[in-house]
Amino acid sequence: MSNRSNKDRLQQLQKVQLNRMSVQCNSSSLVSFGELRKLGNKPSKDVYIIDVREPTELQETGVIPSSINIPLGELESALKDLNDGQFRDKFGRDKPGKQDLIIFSCLKGGRSTKAQEISQKLGYQKVSNFVGGWTEWAEKIKNKCP
């Protein structure tokens, strides 16, 4: 992605409102490290941070706080085919509703972008992407960025 198109996409980013965790963003928004860090530190039943990497990758690198792991290859069937109970049993959380905020992450942003597209096609309306992924997260945590 060129710097210009990345800059244009970043300008589309809406601010995440953390008052009582009422988060508003449009379906094409991006989430910054700072916003994701605040959300991860204050889990909410209406906000889902979904890491679409493979479980072995998470074991090797680590996880973003409050995230759940749904590998990209399982995402569509998890969101489309699993009922609420099956989803909870498999992933440890209630299944997201179509109006809940879902933020996808991966290693560097490629798979999370695909996950964003899949979920939008399934009718999820508040879908965001942390395009920096684990790579950005780990670097900023290491450097103690706010």
Annotated catalytic residue, options 47, 63, 101, 106? 106
β-pairing, 126-129 with 47-51?
unpaired
Q: What are phi and psi of 82, to 5 degrees?
A: -80, 135
Q: Tell me if residue 106 is catalytic.
A: yes
| CA distance readout (Å), 132 to 34, 50, 88 | 12, 14, 28
- Which residues participate in catalysis according to the annotation? 106
